[in-house]
Chains A and B, each alone.
Chain A
Amino acid sequence: MRLLSIYRLKGKPMPEKTVDIFEYERALRFLTRFIDQEQFNALRLWRFNEQAYMAAFNNFCSLKSYEYTQCSKVCAKTLLGSERTIISTLAAIFMAIPNPSEAKGMWDAGQELAIRKERERLFNQLNNLISNRYIQVRGELVEINSTLDNIDECKKIN
């Protein structure tokens, strides 16, 4: 809703789907209370890597120069290199989530139940964001590599 009003203020056409630009951060912020510092740092670092890759890849999309292509390849490799760490971190976080149905009998007006449900929902959201991103990056890396090959060939001819 807040995003809606910003778009109206700026007199811009509305995007088809209102996207939450802090989706990842919002999920991570909620989970911060339940995870330890190391896991939090890993997830934060992942976001930094992802943002660096996103910047490089957007540059590459606008202009397929050698510099931008090389840069986005390096960033993609960094991101893909951290996949194992991030997956095992996610697995550890998942294992620590208590089952929501176990909190059913409690006499706290369903508060604990609601928190556990929310925790599971946001964890799933985070997990989806990360796995979808990896699928996307793999697809984009193919494009980056083929562009890089093309540039190399052009250089050889010259």
Chain B
Amino acid sequence: MSGTTICDFEYERNLKSLLPYLKAEQISTLNQWSAIEQDYNMAWQSFEISRTSKSTLRIKERLDKILGVESDLMNAITLIFLETPGFKQSTGLWDAGKEQGILRERERSLTTIKIYVMDRYEFIRGNLSTIAQALATLIEASGAELDGNHTALNRGVADVEISSSEVVDQIPDNNALHDEAKSTAQNNIGTLFYNDFIDPFGDDIF
């Protein structure tokens, strides 16, 4: 998967087809994860463009957040699967396989969601060391700035790094605003999507 993601609502589409069967707190868990993931993506994109102190700290914060909710999300998916009746149990029904088709579709949607989530976490973990390195550089630079006991050479390097980051720091201010706006916009689109879009392959088919 490349660094830039094309938002094709794969997660939302599958979540939407499951909505009628889920409990309120399950829906909010899955929705929240989607928002957290979009926040992470925004932060990652601006971090990739310019590794300033601001964008590094932001990516670290969002990274911790998204990794923190991983097991909760997996548990929620497990529970949803356990609550979905198996389609083998409905083989005896005389409804031309309608019920079976619906159950099969539910299981397929959930499988797609889980694969999507696993994919995302794989991508996020692939970037862990990059972020850790950037963070270490940042801490080193700020440490050199704080105590003057370092050698002149070291300080020289650190000074250059800080000044260059200060120069680039002018952009992230704009970037941050842009970033926030973009992420709220995407969240909004995501919410709109459930409400308004009629999925031709969704539950309307049944």
Contact = CB atoms under 8 A, between A and B. Distances in A.
Nearest to B80: A25
Interface stretch (A59-67, A81-89, A138-146, A149-157): A59-67
Main secondary structure of the interface of A (DSSP, over half): helix
Interface of B: 67, 70-71, 74-75, 78-79, 81-82, 84, 86, 107-108, 110-112, 114-115, 118, 121, 125-126, 128-129, 132
Interface of A: 2-3, 6, 21-22, 25-26, 28-30, 32, 44, 47-48, 51-52, 54-55, 58-59, 61-63, 65
Main secondary structure of the interface of B (DSSP, over half): helix
A59 B125 contact: yes
Given A21-B114, A25-B82, A28-B82, A51 B74 contact: yes
Given A3-B111, A48-B71, A51-B74, A25 B81 contact: yes
A44 B125 contact: no
Nearest to B75: A48
Contacts of A51: 71, 74-75, 78
17 contacts: A6-B111, A21-B118, A22-B114, A25-B78, A25-B82, A26-B81, A26-B86, A32-B82, A47-B78, A55-B71, A55-B74, A55-B121, A59-B67, A59-B125, A59-B128, A61-B125, A62-B129
B82 A44 contact: yes
A55 B118 CA distance: 10
